[in-house]
Structure 1
Amino acid sequence: MDEGTSQYYFTASMSSGKTLCSLLKAIQFQECAVFCAMSEGLKFTVEEGKCVQASAYVPADNFTEYHVRDDVDVMFKISIAVLVECLNIFGSGEESSLKMYYRSEGSPLLLVLQPQSVFNVMTDCEIATQTAESALELRADAAAARLVLRAPALLGLLAGLERSGDTLELRVSPDHPHLSFLSYGMQDRSCVDVPKSSEMIQSFHCEEPITLKYQLYHIRLIMKALAISSKVVMRCSSNGLLLLQLKLEKEDQRQMFSEFTIVPLLDDL
């Protein structure tokens, strides 16, 4: 592609698309995502019914080149499954440089990938785009509790709970044991208490006890994101929404993020 960027709504380049691919896999629980290019970076959003919304954020400083026209809205629907497959076209073990181009509304998203270990080899991909529908608006009230947790520790805890039932009850309190995870179904029940002195908890703020229930299936949707993240910021809002921001730190210290917003069970609204 020798043409200038001015004729494109969006162009971007990065030395390796491997981390981006991992981040997209972490929210790949639906076929399609809404792709949004903003001046501050890229955002990919998927939804599970009207109960879970997940977004992957790639700040602009992760790209070697990044340009978005400021006179148009660059937002469209795209198959996240196809995008992940294209990013992984040379294999999961191969580092490949990535260039992305989006010409105008209705145009395909163009990808150019070149493996770093092989010279004079590259592949072009075109991924069809569709008009994006309006995203689900999940508005959280003021945070009743805010915690910063170590992602690997939370992953291990949830992995131990996930076969125990179909409901997760989350209790946060300024008093001991501070944080409790209870899972139960028709017959099984398990509980894990985590005091704020635990190595799992890096920061803890809660002024009043709060108890909320969620479908365990919805909580499981964060497992892939936890597996590639270092830290989780958890917010329990007063209207019951659970907000989770997961930070993925790269070797160059730049960050990418994923965020999950989970709606509580109806009887707890």
Structure 2
Amino acid sequence: MVMDMPEPLFMAELDSVRTLLNMLKAIQIKGYMTCEIDSEVLTFVSQDMHSIKASAYMKREHFSQYRFTGSDDTPRFTVGSDALIGCLGIIASNQNDGCKMKYAGEGAVFEIRGENREAIEICRLKTMEPEEVFIGLNLGDKVSWLQATLMKSDWFKDALSDLDSTCESVTFHISPDDQFFRLSANGESGEWNMEYPARSDAFLEFHAETEVKFSYRYSHIALCKKALEISEHVSLRTDPYGYLGLLFSVETSAKAAYVEFVIAPLDTDETSSQSDSGT
């Protein structure tokens, strides 16, 4: 007698893994990623303690099939980022670069399966307990935003490419009165400034409730470069505590997918680092 196998908690199919692969490469800031699944979106998160969090979001409309049979609780598990990206990279190298994903529930492997005429690739990634949730800017809470600007990715990418890599911090300065967005830093080659008027071609939207001026580690800002390479637009938002949210819109054949970075301001970052190290 053949026993019916229980239906997996999550099953999905992508016609092409390339967009997801590029998004995961853009958020790879640590050796592990946490996956979160619900009925509408598949999310991968990579974070560095309490100073920076990077997320990749793919909604169900990006999948040719998407089925989640769980309850209201969102399953969360952690996988090795090198193994995950390596698996998708192998599938992406095939002419038929679609894949199927499956997750049976707590303690189960995360399975990714790709097929072509010559071979079938099956990756079963060991899952681990998820990392602690990062606490920072809540991009869904519009009341908390001091400013929200929508900028063309190419303009922001050009600004970061001109930054002196020897600088330790980058200051974001946005003024509602003088209507400008300014980046500034100091490095071995001296002081660097880049300023964009609100009415320049760089912006699609420019909104600031009050003057905003916070500094961030250059190394954290530089991690956004890969996201800029694959995105069309970037939304920059800041909350009253200085947390910076950068939401990158990645065009697909369906609706846009998103990569998000949340970065703590320099003083908060230093305080958290000291607390985590026990000093």
What TM-score does the superposition give when structure 2 sets the normalisation length?
0.87
**Contact 1:179–1:194, Cα closer than 8 Å, also in 2:** yes
User: Larger deviation: 129-138 or 218-227?
Assistant: 129-138
**Contact 1:15–1:64, Cα closer than 8 Å, also in 2:** yes
**Percent identity for Structure 1 against Structure 2:** 25
Q: Distance in 2 between matches of 1:18 and 1:95?
A: 11
Q: Distance in 1 between matches of 2:94 and 2:42?
A: 24
- Mark the runs of 5 or more structure 2 residues left unpaired by the alignment: 272-279
List per-residue Cα deviations over 1:29-61 (Å, max 9, x = no partner).
111011011111101111123100111001011
Structure 1 residues 31 and 178, CA gap change in structure 2 (3 angstroms): same
Instruction: Report the residue type matching 2:111 in the other structure.
Output: L
Q: Distance in 1 between matches of 2:108 and 2:215?
A: 43
1:12 and 2:12 matched: yes
As a proportion of its length, which structure holds more helix? 2
SS at match of 1:161: coil
Q: Distance in 1 between matches of 2:4 and 2:37?
A: 18
Instruction: Report the residue type matching 1:35 in the other structure.
Output: C
1:173 and 2:175 matched: yes
SS at match of 1:88: helix
- Mark the runs of 5 or more structure 1 residues left unpaired by the alignment: none
**Contact 1:10–1:67, Cα closer than 8 Å, also in 2:** yes
Q: 2:156 aligns with which of 151, 154, 170?
A: 154
Q: Distance in 2 between matches of 1:128 and 1:84?
A: 14
Q: Aligned-residue CA RMSD in angstroms?
A: 2.2
Q: Distance in 2 between matches of 1:126 and 1:113?
A: 12
**Contact 1:9–1:74, Cα closer than 8 Å, also in 2:** no
2:87 maps to what in 1?
86
Matches within 5 A, 1:123-162: 123-140=121-138, 142-162=144-164
- Cα displacement (A) at 1:69: 1.7
1:214 maps to what in 2?
216
Instruction: Report the residue type matching 2:110 in the other structure.
Output: L
SS at match of 2:98: strand
List per-residue Cα deviations over 1:70-111 (Å, max 9, x = no partner).
236421001121111001114547441100111221111111
**Contact 2:16–2:92, Cα closer than 8 Å, also in 1:** no
Instruction: Report the residue type matching 1:147 in the other structure.
Output: T
Q: Distance in 2 between matches of 1:19 and 1:5?
A: 32
**Contact 1:162–1:220, Cα closer than 8 Å, also in 2:** no
**Contact 2:99–2:114, Cα closer than 8 Å, also in 1:** yes
